Amino acid sequence: MAVKKDPRRAGESLGLAHSLQTRMIAGFSLLFVLIFCGVQYASIFGIPFADYQGRMGSRKAEAAKKLELIADTKKGRLQQWIKARRADTHIIAKNELVEEHVARLQERVKALRAAGETGAELWRQATGSTGYAFLDRYLQSVKTERGDYASIEIADAQSGTLLFSTDPARLGENIASSAEFAGALRSGDDYLGAPHLDPGGDDLCSDLCFSHVVTAPGGTAGAVVVLEAEIDASLTAMLHTGDGLGESGEALLVDGKRRVVTALKYHLPDGSSARPLAHRIDAEPAVRAARGEDGVIEAKDYRGVEVLAAYRHIPVGTDWGWGMVVKIDREELFAPLQEDIIHSMTLVLLGIILVVIVTIFMAGNLVLPLEVLANAAGGLAKGDLSIRCGLKRRDEIGVLSEAFDAMAGTLQETMGGLEQRSGQLQEAAESLEARQRVQQGALTVASVLASVATLDALLEQGLDKVMDATRSQVGAVYLRDAGTPDTLRLAKAKGLAPGTGLPAEIAMGQGPGLAAQRQTVEVLREIPPGTRFTVTTVAGEGLPNCIVNIPLVFQGRSIGVVALASLYPVTAEQLEVVEMTRPQLATAVSNALVHAETEKLASDLQEKNEELATMNEELQSQAEELQGQAEELTSQAVEMEAQRARVEEADRLKTEFLSNMSHELRTPLNSVLALSQLMLSRGVGTSPEQETEFLQVIERNGRHLLNLINDILDLSKIEAGRMDLLLSEFEPRQVVLDVAETVRPLCAKKGLELTLETGDLSLIRSDQDRVRQILLNLLSNAVKFTERGEVSVRVSAAAGRVSFLVRDTGTGISPADLEHIFDEFRQVDGSTTRRHEGTGLGLAICRKLARLLGGDIAVRSEVGQGSLFTLSLPIPEASSVRSEGSVRPEPARALSPAQEKIPAAGLLSPGPSGPGREKPLVLVVEDNPVATLQIRSVLEEAGYAVKAAAGGEEGLALVRTDVPDLIVLDLMMPGVDGFEVLERVRSTPRTATLPVLVLTAKELTAEDRARLSHNNVQQLIQKGSLDREQLIARVKETLRESREQTPAEPPAVDPSRPAGGGRGPVLVVEDNPDNRLTVEAILREMGRVCTSTPDGARALEMAREVAPSLILMDIHLPGLNGIDATRRIKSDPALKGIPVVALTARAMRGDRETLLAAGCDDYLSKPLERDALESILDRWAPLPAEGG
């Protein structure tokens, strides 16, 4: 059957969107649009990544060149206009007639002022002068001729007063502060100032002032002519001409701060007008022009509109310029291209219509035959094998039609044979499927039987699979009892109705047991109503359709029976499944029974084994616990033995150290006390030579005691982390030479050779005193332990460190002792029979000091061969110093504690004295009378005049009376201490450069040293280490340094005395009766009236009653202590003016600050000295003068 041509069928079946004709129309139209649009895009916008930029690029490039040409033209006009205005200024200023008439006008104004004329009358008469008339005619004609000057003015160069102005109302005003006036005078010629707003005009207009100096007849600056041009009136027409800028084009000027100079063409985005020199433009072209750049850029202008702009920088003044921007809107620039795009869109639409018409014609000849083929194929797909195309064409479509018809005929013949063969295959498949179901059922049961291990699981899952295979709803398994072979016991049941019970056991040959006895499958179909097997359904309990009893036979012996009940009849296929699985089920049940019995035996055996294992573990645990306790006891015993040994060693070292220290202290102390008592008993002058020897022994032992105390203090400070280091730059060679000179007499006494190798090393930065202390200890030890041979010191530098090597040929140190040589309190020989004295602290202190300095000490030694100690220190300035102590940089001018040897001639010569003196006068300020006597005797023997003061206040009084040549000052004094004395001396111009030699037993901190150095103290002597030669050398050196620095003496000024007066009694607050009696006796001996009380609270009442002139307040009082009592006195307005002096026996660091912070005006240390008390009274409560 041939298919008729119906062109609508294919289109209807495919839909318009999926038809070939629609796709051809859409494809050709899209191709046309892409080609046309691509060509147009390239024509307008150019080709990407190519040199061709299209019409838009060409137009932008032409516009940029045009804008640059316009910008350069306007820039040239603007510069020419400025040049012409400056030329006008120059012509006016250099005009001889102008100079002459300005001079006449100045003379006229001067004469009028001399005549007493002022104000408007003065300027009315001045305008009537010939000079003013000439200037008015000339300058008014210039203003009128030019037309762009707002005013022309001439100001006096000296006063800045306006002598002439085209605006007469401004005559007499002073413009001296204006930039144009000052700039012209500063330059001496012409000056162009930056634009500014006209103070009397519109705030939308700005002015530009040109100024020039008018020369006076003498060649000096006589006046300044100022031409004020209105920028907006002069430059707007020049900038806003529309030549080449179109309708939206604009040219604008900004100053160096991007402020508008001329009025803008458009309003701002908020609708307001831009104020000249007030509105700032942040658009990129203006920013670049103001920055001094030239160029062209596409950016947004001050309105936020995209523009193409050319920008130029115009230098105007010497230090300022303008930025000019010439721009045109991008929309106007590319407007012609918008028309081209519209024309292109019209051509696209026409082209699409033409493409659609041509495509429809072409598709008609191709699509209709294809639709016929599609319809025929559709009918063939629906099962109509008789359908044919029947197209007769002499092209590819005709060939396809004939092939389709041939295929349809062949297909029709083949399908007939296939239908017959399909029926035969269907029958075979059904038979095969039934067999496969039987095997699958048997396989399912077998797989379950093989996968379980226990009897209960086997019966559970096996019964479930057998019930599924036979479509049974109830099932039960009975197994043969091993004890009673003729009985079957119920092992598993499933699917029974509630309340239905099966017999727990049945006999062989009865009920299901009959099948077991016969060993054949039994099927019961007609079930009586009284059967025990009932099936529970949704509608209730029902009778089964059939019952199947399956015997389980293993090796010819029945081991059980499976009873099944089903609502459905049992088919042959199901029975075949039962027959196939019955042997496997019997085998599995038999194996499970055997396995269960085996597991029971294994379980019993395992329980026995576990019991044995538990007992074994308990025994093993007890053995291990006993072993651990034994090991722990052994370890504790070893540790206790080690601790006992350490305690014994520590006790031995402590005992040995205390014994040695007691010996070291008592031995020299015994000599001092015994010889002192001997000299006291014998008297002085009995035997001078022997007395000198005794005194030398006393001094030597005293120095030995001082060294011991210093060692203990150094160790304590190091351990407490309070050791201060004073860093300075010094030569290692000089330190070695100083130490060598100290120990050289000991070497000479023992006959030892002392050799030095110091080399030529650069400066190092460290604590010079501590380095000297370490080297002195090492060198002293070397001399002490060397009986013959030599002691050598060598200094070398390598790898950023300097090394001091101290070698001796002494006894040496054994390896056992070498390990502990740097331990505290330990000596190589600490016994009572030792040959060498010492405490065992020296080397320990040396190592700790070396490590504080960032270095270390190493030692090598052999017994009988001597020892080598090496001190290594870092060379760099930024050396690493450990933080156990406080490390501080040395002040710029260091204190000098050096111990250089001074020639005898220099020691005996006292040096030059002050004006009018035969001998240099030395003032000794020292509160210790023994020390004062010692210093006085040494200095007077050396040829110096000496005065002594027992305290700081007395010393200051002596300085005010007669300025000495030198002060020897103790730091630690009651009342006014040495630091305060020093600061008060330096605060007076008369004594600001007076040389001061500090004498102290105080261990100075870095702050103390800085305080001394700040007050120009260059020499420092530590008490206890002072000898006669050293004292005289220091005095001599200090006087020599100040020889050329003697200032002129200013007139003496009486120091202000504190309020208090001496008319009231002195109130003594002291709880100790002996101390109170002592203070009262001293006060009465001094002629003072006094009263006393032992209580702080009573002191407040007495202060109000008697109004004392001064209160001596003990700090430790019962009840209200002295500090709290002082606070209450100072907080009372009626008592706070009374001076309070604290009496304290404490002398710890910081006590003075605590007392002063509590309100005390001063303090005295116990025991009281009469001189110190008298100085305090004279200072705070002086007695009234006689007759006053």
pLDDT of res. 536: 59
pLDDT of res. 888: 40
Tokens 């156990």 appear where? Answer: 884
Q: Is the pLDDT of residue 77 over 60?
A: yes
pLDDT bucket at 533, cuts 50 / 70 / 90: low
Q: Is 1099 within 8 Å of 1069 (Cβ atoms)?
A: yes
Q: How far apart are CA 861 and CA 807, in angstroms?
A: 10
Q: Is the pLDDT of residue 887 over 50?
A: no
Q: Is the pLDDT of residue 162 over 60?
A: yes
Instruction: Please tell me the least confidently modeled range out of 169-178, 710-719, 884-893.
Output: 884-893
48: Cβ contacts below 8 Å, ≥ 6 apart: none
C-alpha torsion sign, points 360, 362, 365, 366:
negative
Tokens 């035959």 appear where? Answer: 369
pLDDT of res. 1047: 39
pTM of the model: 0.34
Name residue 549's beta-bridge partners.
Answer: 522, 563
pLDDT tens sequence across 567-626: 888 888 778 878 888 887 888 888 877 777 787 787 888 888 888 888 878 888 877 888
pLDDT tens sequence across 409-453: 788 788 777 777 777 777 777 777 777 777 676 777 777 776 676
* 3-state secondary structure (DSSP) of residue 1185: coil
Phi, psi of 1093 (to 5 degrees): -155, 145
Q: Is the pLDDT of residue 534 over 90?
A: no
pLDDT tens sequence across 199-248: 655 555 678 888 999 988 888 888 999 998 888 777 777 777 656 677 88
- What's the mean per-residue pLDDT of the chain? 79
- H/E segment holding residue 367: helix 335-381
Q: How far apart are CA 286 and CA 992, in angstroms?
A: 66
pLDDT tens sequence across 783-799: 888 988 999 999 998 87
Per the structure block, which two tokens stand in for 572? Answer: 């042959």
Q: Regarding predicted confidence, which is higher, 249 or 716?
A: 249
Q: Is the pLDDT of residue 1056 over 70?
A: no
Q: How far apart are CA 142 and CA 119, in angstroms?
A: 28
Instruction: Please tell me the least confidently modeled range out of 292-306, 571-585, 971-985.
Output: 571-585
pLDDT bucket at 455, cuts 50 / 70 / 90: confident
Cβ count within 10 A of residue 384: 13
Cβ count within 10 A of residue 114: 8
Q: Which amino acid is at 481?
A: D
For the chain, what's the residue count?
1188
Q: Is the pLDDT of residue 927 over 50?
A: yes
pLDDT of res. 895: 44
36: Cβ contacts below 8 Å, ≥ 6 apart: 344, 347, 348, 351
Q: Is the pLDDT of residue 855 over 60?
A: yes
Domains of the chain: 74-331 (3.30.450.20), 437-601 (3.30.450.40), 725-827+839-874 (3.30.565.10), 921-1037 (3.40.50.2300), 1066-1181 (3.40.50.2300)
What mean pLDDT do residues 994-1005 have? 80
pLDDT tens sequence across 130-147: 888 898 898 989 888 888
Q: Regarding predicted confidence, which is higher, 541 or 549?
A: 549
Is 18 exposed, middle or buried, given 0-12, 13-18 or 19+ CB atoms closer than 10 A?
exposed
pLDDT of res. 868: 92
- H/E segment holding residue 667: helix 572-682
pLDDT of res. 805: 94
pLDDT of res. 60: 80
Crossing angle between the packed helical segments 455-470 and 396-451, to the nearest 10 degrees? 140
pLDDT of res. 186: 87
Q: DSSP letters of 766-834?
A: EEHHHHHHHHHHHHHHHHHT-SSSEEEEEEEEETTEEEEEEEE-SS---HHHHTTTTSTT--S--STT-
743: Cβ contacts below 8 Å, ≥ 6 apart: 754, 776, 779, 780, 783
pLDDT of res. 924: 93
pLDDT bucket at 838, cuts 50 / 70 / 90: low
Torsion angle of C-alpha atoms 225, 228, 229, 231, degrees rounded to 10: 140
pLDDT bucket at 296, cuts 50 / 70 / 90: very high
Which one-letter DSSP state was computed for residue 420? Answer: H
pLDDT tens sequence across 653-671: 666 666 566 656 666 665 6
Instruction: Please tell me the least confidently modeled range out of 14-23, 206-215, 689-698, 832-841.
Output: 832-841
CA distances from 199 to 203, 207, 357, 596 (A): 8, 10, 78, 123
pLDDT of res. 1188: 43
Instruction: Please tell me the least confidently modeled range out of 134-148, 154-168, 379-393, 1085-1099.
Output: 379-393
Chain-centroid distance of CA 938 in Å reads 62
pLDDT of res. 556: 81
Is 422 exposed, middle or buried, given 0-12, 13-18 or 19+ CB atoms closer than 10 A?
exposed
Q: How far apart are CA 104 and CA 107, in angstroms?
A: 5
pLDDT bucket at 830, cuts 50 / 70 / 90: very low
Tell me, letter by letter, the H, E, C secondary structure of 257-308.
CCEECCCCCCCCCCCCCCCCCCCECCCHHHHHHHCCCCEEEEEECCCCCEEE
pLDDT of res. 559: 83
pLDDT bucket at 395, cuts 50 / 70 / 90: confident
pLDDT tens sequence across 92-107: 988 888 888 899 888 8
pLDDT bucket at 909, cuts 50 / 70 / 90: very low
Tell me, letter by letter, the H, E, C secondary structure of 370-418.
HHHHHHHHHHHHCCCCCCECCCCCCCHHHHHHHHHHHHHHHHHHHHHHH
Q: Is 337 within 8 Å of 62 (Cβ atoms)?
A: no
pLDDT bucket at 884, cuts 50 / 70 / 90: very low
pLDDT tens sequence across 738-781: 889 888 888 988 899 999 988 777 788 888 888 988 998 899 88
Q: Is the pLDDT of residue 902 over 70?
A: no
What mean pLDDT do residues 358-374 have? 75
pLDDT of res. 675: 66
pLDDT of res. 295: 92
pLDDT of res. 1139: 94
The closest alpha carbon to 1, from 412, 290, 543, belongs to 412
What mean pLDDT do residues 21-48 have? 74
Q: Is 718 within 8 Å of 711 (Cβ atoms)?
A: no
CA distances from 619 to 245, 605, 613, 623 (A): 114, 21, 10, 6
Share of the chain above pLDDT 70, in %: 80
In 893-953, the DSSP E strands lie at 921-925, 945-949
Q: How far apart are CA 1164 and CA 1113, in angstroms?
A: 10
What mean pLDDT do residues 820-846 have? 62
What mean pLDDT do residues 4-31 have? 63
Share of the chain above pLDDT 90, in %: 11
